[in-house]
Structure 1
């Protein structure tokens, strides 16, 4: 049970950081506003009704219920996996980061019908899709899962 509590604390920290950062952006920027901070990084206010890279964002609205349902199911599975005694510390950390990110974006979808994105990286006029703290936590968690799986000894 201690690992579950630790995992929920990590997930909770991600949720708080994500929601506070999104709140700050929505207070400081109107939709589409941006400020250039470096030659390759802008803060911007964007709304995403789709998934990563705005996948399905152009649909008629059914995707909101789909993404809410998917996030709820994924969160339940992640909590179940965190409750299990097996798994490395790295594995549990990865699950916690993904859980926090999933819930952070779930809150946006429920409250607003879209996810607030604000981190925008680019090379000259070639822009990576804007993202947020929750997206970053999900990505880092996924990378840690891959790393953890590569560290495990192979069975012959």
Structure 2
């Protein structure tokens, strides 16, 4: 019975991860290449609430650790792969409930999406820009960034039971 639960848990994580990865990569292809944002640099969609602004992110969030150095690129790829492996081991050792598994899939799918960008372009393609209420947001992000944030938050809110190996009374 335990292996059946583990298989279902593993499938849910991978289904969510694959869905996030596909949505991320398709949205980037559509906006950056098909709409030509990489050449146009800006497209007003529903200003000021939603705009597309091309930003090649060589670092992590908000440009931290940015630099066009190949070493930085490979370090960030290694960190992302390490986080994915850590989450996979965590999910296997102490599978959380459904929401935790979905959160793990979101984090993994987003991380892999950004790793693919770094491999293809040397940087992550960020394009979503949102502003509101007189605040002009200078930063851009992508679907993978949203999934990573939501996945990490979900894993904090819905961790594993911590009861692996304990018998129910």
| Residue 110 of structure 2, aligned match among 74, 80, 101 | 101
Task: Output the CA distance in 1 between the equivalents of 2:39 and 2:88.
Answer: 34
Which sits farther off after the overlay, 96-105 or 25-34?
Answer: 25-34
Asked if the contact 1:31–1:46 (Cα under 8 Å) also holds between the matched residues in 2, the reply is: no
1:127 aligns with 2:133: no
Alignment correspondent of 1:72: 81
Over alpha carbons, which structure has the higher Rg? 2
Task: Output the CA distance in 1 between the equivalents of 2:23 and 2:15.
Answer: 12
Q: Deviations over 1:56-89 (max 9, x none)?
A: 1136442101101111111112222233353222
Asked if the contact 1:31–1:47 (Cα under 8 Å) also holds between the matched residues in 2, the reply is: no
What is the correspondence of 1:5-154 to structure 2 with a 5 Å cutoff? 5-27=11-33, 28=35, 29-31=37-39, 33-36=41-44, 37-58=46-67, 60-84=69-93, 86-123=95-132, 124=134, 126-148=136-158
SS in 1 for 2:66: coil
Asked if the contact 2:9–2:95 (Cα under 8 Å) also holds between the matched residues in 1, the reply is: no
Query: Is the alpha carbon distance of 1:97 and 1:142 closer, same or farther for their aligned partners in structure 2, counting shifts above 3 Å?
Result: same
Moved over 4 A (4+): none
| TM-score of the pair, normalised by structure 2 | 0.80
| TM-score of the pair, normalised by structure 1 | 0.86
SS in 1 for 2:152: helix
Asked if the contact 1:42–1:120 (Cα under 8 Å) also holds between the matched residues in 2, the reply is: yes
SS in 2 for 1:127: coil
Structure 2 residue ranges without an equivalent (≥5): 1-6, 163-169
> Pairwise CA RMSD of aligned residues?
2.1
Task: Kindly tell me the number of residue pairs found equivalent between the two proteins.
Answer: 151
